[in-house]
Amino acid sequence: MFVDETDIFVKGGDGGAGCVSFRREKYVPRGGPDGGDGGDGGSVWLEADPALTTLLDYHYRRHYHAERGQHGEGANRHGASGADLVLRVPSGTVVADRTTGERLGDLTAPGQRLLAARGARGGRGNARFATSTNRAPRRADLGRPGAERWLRLELKLLADVGVIGFPNAGKSTLVSRVSAAKPRSPTIRSRRSRRHSASSAWTTSARL
């Protein structure tokens, strides 16, 4: 079993701020509040992709931020919500929280998704706070910050090819030449044991 792992930082998009605005038109006296709400921030998703076989891309870039929501505007115009960020990982990726060690999920099926960081809600504009007793509110909510955390991604794969052969046929040598593995050859171990036995015998004869 080959294991490939890396740590990445994910952050959901911040929510947009609500707007404080009042309707002002030439022939509309006391138009009232018309501040729009801020847009919601985008979320970060992990999606299993069977076309990928390694987590190498995440070794070079480790920080990922979803798009933030836009701020609200006057005339009851709400801010646009931020787009979700989808990170594609190989099938068989195990996701865990690096800080707590909690296992969040195992992406095994193609297209399976896992919510890594949720985007925040946008703030309310002053039009939301108008009441019968407070017809001109000058209050609006700020957007909330998106969730953020470090994740540990671990990929587990079974070998697709096995090498079978007689002893001393060169299996370990072949594997060491075509890969970065460093297998211990039985021939080398036997040579070391004979060398150790010979040195022990020479030491014994020298003492006698």
Residue 52 pLDDT > 70: yes
CB atoms within 10 A of CB 89: 22
Q: Where in the chain is the domain with CATH 2.70.210.12?
A: 2-157
Name the fold adopted by 2-157.
Spo0b-associated Gtp-binding Protein; Chain: A, (2.70.210)
Residue 44 pLDDT > 90: yes
- pLDDT tens figures, 86-117: 999 999 999 999 999 999 999 999 999 999 99
pLDDT for position 96: 96
Tell me if residue 118 falls in helix, strand or coil. Answer: coil
- pLDDT tens figures, 138-168: 999 999 999 999 999 999 865 566 778 778 7
- Of 112, 8, 109, 19, residue with least CA distance to 69: 19
Residue 9 is which amino acid? F
Contacts of 207 (CB under 8 A, 6+ apart): none
The partner residues of 3 in beta bridges, in order of sequence, read: 156
pTM here? 0.72
CB atoms within 10 A of CB 18: 27
CB atoms within 10 A of CB 141: 19
List the single range of 36-40, 53-57, 67-71, 113-117 with lowest mean pLDDT.
53-57
